[in-house]
Amino acid sequence: MSTARRKAYRTAEDRILLAVTVIAWLLYLLSSLLLSWSVYHILANDHMVRQSAKDAVHETSGWSTVQRTEMFQTAIEYNNRLEQRFGSSIPADMRNEEGQPLELLDSEYINMGGNTIATLNIPGISVTVPIYHTTLDTVLDKGAGHMYGTALPVGQEGTSSVIAAHSGGVQGLLFSRLVELRQGAYFYVNVYGTTHAYQVDAITTVLPDQVEQALQEEIAKARTATSATAKKTDDPSDMRTQIPAPDKSGTARVSMVTCTPIGVNTHRLIISGHRVGTPSPAPAADSVKDTRLQALIWALVVLVIAITAAVIFHIIRKHSNIKTAKGRHHA
């Protein structure tokens, strides 16, 4: 090959390499922007969700004792009618012949407790979300939803409540870290200005068409536990009208449901727990730390310090080498 041809070949090869490099950098920049946009929206939405939860707690904390008593009594009466109304079925997301969601037609349910039903706090994984009425898509886009047909989560004896939320979406973190919970972990429900603690005692993963059966089993657990406790009292029929004080344990159950694995969503993760007293055995919610998040933060701090130190060392070393080279040149 002649010199001119070799030169032309190298020039063409250099152009191709330059084009590939530019395209690679553009793709890298585009993917970085998309990732940054997604992270920003997740964090921004998560902040709004947390703020909504704080606002809900603040609102109910100002209620008078009379208001709280009336709300709890109304919830008890509503919960006690569920079995007669729906039997063992859970009619969440079901529609009538006109295509209208049944829960939206239940004015008593929709107006129960104001804008939110309660607030869920899982301090061990930094989850704080408001619990809204229903599990319709418009609701789950802004927080957690209470599953229609299950008991309102007021801590009432013999009841089983279900709370659902998204995982891995841009709506916020929501239940993305729910998979980290283990047996014995604590979570808290603030309802009508009162905080009830629950301890995880069941973790299961099922197919979507197995969810209702799994949740019906949770309802049965709560009723069985109440029956067993009622045998020890003088007035067994009165058990279902009771809500133990926050420092007392009880038979009420709460289940949390989300899609899993994140991004695949072929199954449903169900984590359930029963009422326990706080501050004993369950510690106060504000005293529970998210150890994994703390470890991650410290790891990032150490990484930043290490990178900074490496850059400074490289600059100093390069500067020293330049000075040495100049010294040799003058010599």
- The answer to whether 277 touches 248, Cβ cutoff 8 Å, is yes
Assign 8 a pLDDT band (cuts: 50, 70, 90). low
Q: Enumerate the domain spans of the chain.
A: 39-231+239-288, 290-330
Three-class DSSP category at 105: helix
Tokens of residue 295, six digits: 């470890």
> What is the pLDDT, as a whole number, of residue 4?
57
Peptide bond into 261 cis (omega under 30): yes
pLDDT tens string 206-228: 999 999 999 999 999 998 888 77
Residue of 133, 146, 196, 259 marked active site? 259
Residue with token string 């930094």: 126
Peptide bond into 281 cis (omega under 30): yes
Residue with token string 């900074």: 308
Residue of 133, 166, 196, 274 marked active site? 166
Three-class DSSP category at 271: strand
| C-alpha distances in Å from residue 195, one per residue of 118, 154, 248 | 10, 9, 12
Per-residue pLDDT, averaged over 9-24, amounts to 76
pLDDT tens string 221-260: 998 888 777 666 655 555 667 899 999 999 999 999 999 9
Contacts made by residues 43-46, CB under 8 angstroms, sequence distance 24+: 45/170, 45/171, 45/172, 46/172, 46/173, 46/174
Report d(CA 244, CA 2) in Å as an integer: 94
> What is the pLDDT, as a whole number, of residue 208?
96
> What is the pLDDT, as a whole number, of residue 9?
53
Annotated catalytic, 166?
A: yes
Tokens of residue 242, six digits: 């009771």
Strand partners for 200: 273
Assign 3 a pLDDT band (cuts: 50, 70, 90). low
pTM for the full model?
A: 0.83
pLDDT tens string 112-156: 888 899 999 999 999 999 999 999 999 999 999 999 999 999 999
Nearest CA-CA partner of 94 in 79, 82, 105: 105
Tokens of residue 207, six digits: 């197919």
> What is the pLDDT, as a whole number, of residue 275?
97
> What percent of the chain has pLDDT above 70?
88
Tokens of residue 328, six digits: 């040799």
pLDDT tens string 290-331: 877 667 667 767 777 877 787 787 778 767 766 666 566 555
Span 39-231+239-288: which CATH code? Answer: 2.40.260.10
pLDDT tens string 166-187: 998 888 899 999 999 999 999 9
Report d(CA 119, CA 153) in Å as an integer: 10
> What is the pLDDT, as a whole number, of residue 298?
75
> What is the pLDDT, as a whole number, of residue 25?
87
Annotated catalytic, 319?
A: no
pLDDT tens string 59-99: 888 889 999 999 999 999 999 999 999 987 899 989 988 99
Report d(CA 227, CA 237) in Å as an integer: 9
Strand partners for 205: 269
Report d(CA 36, CA 23) in Å as an integer: 20
> What is the pLDDT, as a whole number, of residue 74?
94
For 296, list phi and psi in degrees, rounded to 5: -65, -45
Its sign, for the CA torsion 175, 177, 179, 181, is negative
Report d(CA 290, CA 294) in Å as an integer: 6
